[in-house]
Structure 1
Amino acid sequence: MHTLSKIFDKVLATACVALFAILVATVSWQVFTRQVLGDPSTWSEELAKYVFVWLGMFGAALVFSERGHISVDVVVRRFSERTQRVVAVAVQLAVIAFAVTALVWGGARITVLAWGQSLSALPSHLGVVYLVVPITGVIITFYAGSHLASVLRRGEAPVASAGPVMES
């Protein structure tokens, strides 16, 4: 499972870099056509919005793989290691439940409903935009399952290690 997780990490990181490059190029083109040419591009603003959605969803999944999302664990850290593991298992099960119901199932439903709707400025369908939701749901479900298995077999700490402390 660890090998598959590393493959997902590399694919997601590559996708995020590619999407970010497309986003920068698209927004730069939009600014150039608007400010320099005086004739704004009709498609670039819409593409930038949808690329940003895909980038945000894939980025969220990648951060989830690294256990990098914000968590308020000040109380949990005071518990025994056994209780921390119980809480970690409960959290991962809740994440799996949310990812499967809201992202995979709900995302698939909205994707199907929106598939026939054409985008106004791009030769595509709105369903393509929503397709990222179930895809990300499957990826997050995989990562949560991986974290769950790792916590149960004591391969990782039940509470993610704190990052660097920022001083003001």
Structure 2
Amino acid sequence: MDKTKSSLDSFLRIFCIALFAFLVLLVTWQVVTRFVFNAPSSFSEELAKYIFVWLALFGGAFVFGEKGHMAIEFIKDKFSEKTRYATEWFIEIITIAFATLVMIIGGIQLVLMTWSQTSASLGVPVGLLYFAVPLSGLFIVLYCVHHLYQLAKNNPQHR
């Protein structure tokens, strides 16, 4: 289980770095063509939007896996160890339900609805943009399963 998380972490880290680097180059190209050559690039703005959405979704999944998301710890810290344990399980289960229902199932429906539409300047299916939603939802579910595995290993009743 730890090896799977480590592999997913590495993949998402490298993928997000590559997306960010490409986004910087693309926006730089857009600025240069617009202000230096006075002939704006026709594809760069739309592609930058696509890359930004993918970066936000996959970056969010990566941060979730690292437990780097915002949390209100001072409330949870006031609970007993057993209540804190139950609360953490509840949070992970709710997150799995949300990611499954909204991101994976809803995202797949969104991809299927928009796959026949073509983007204006890139000529690729719009569903390609939305494909990041179910994929990042799947990554979040995988991270939740890992978090639940870690919680089960560290169960306060087994100490």
TM-score by structure 1 length? 0.90
Q: Does 1:15 align with 2:12?
A: no
Aligned amino acid, residue 56 of structure 1: A
**Counterpart of 2:132?**
132
Q: What is the DSSP-based 3-state SS (H/G/I as helix, E as strand, rest coil) of the residue aligned with 1:120?
A: coil
Moved more, 146-155 or 109-118: 146-155
1:104 maps to what in 2? 104
Letter paired with 1:145: V
* Deviation of 1:150 (Å): 0.8
Residues 36-58 of structure 1: CA deviation (Å, up to 9, x unaligned): 00111111000001100000001
| 2:145 is the alignment partner of 1:145 | yes
3-state DSSP of counterpart to 1:75? helix
Report the CA distance between 1:123 and its aligned residue.
2.5
Using the TM superposition, give the Cα deviation of residue 107 of structure 1 relative to its aligned residue in structure 2, in angstroms.
Answer: 0.2
When the two structures are aligned, how many residues end up with a matched partner? 155
- 1:62 corresponds in structure 2 to 62
Name stretches of at least 5 consecutive residues in structure 1 with no aligned partner. Answer: 156-168
* Aligned-CA RMSD value: 0.9
Report the equivalent of 1:32.
32
Counterpart-to-counterpart distance in 2, 1:92 and 1:73: 15
Following the alignment from structure 1 to structure 2, what is the Cα–Cα distance between the partners of residues 98 and 73? 21
Structure 1 moving runs of 4+ over 3 Å? none
SS at match of 1:74: helix
Q: Output the CA distance in 2 between the equivalents of 1:73 and 1:20.
A: 31
How much does 1:21 deviate? Answer: 1.1
Unaligned runs of 5+ in 2: none
2:92 corresponds to 1:123: no
Give per-residue Cα distances to partners, 1:145-164, cap 9 Å, x unaligned. 11012112208xxxxxxxxx
| Higher share in helix | 2
Offset from partner CA, 1:120-167 (integer Å, 9 cap, x none): 010211000000000001110010111012112208xxxxxxxxxxxx
Give the AA of the match of 1:141. Answer: V
What's the secondary structure of 2:38's corresponding residue? coil
The corresponding residue for 1:77 is 77
| Residues 89, 152 of structure 1: 8 Å contact kept | no
TM-score w.r.t. the length of structure 2 is: 0.95
Aligned residue identity for 1:3 = K
Q: Residue 85 of structure 1 contacts residue 152 of structure 1 at CA under 8 Å; is this kept in 2?
A: no
SS in 2 for 1:116: coil
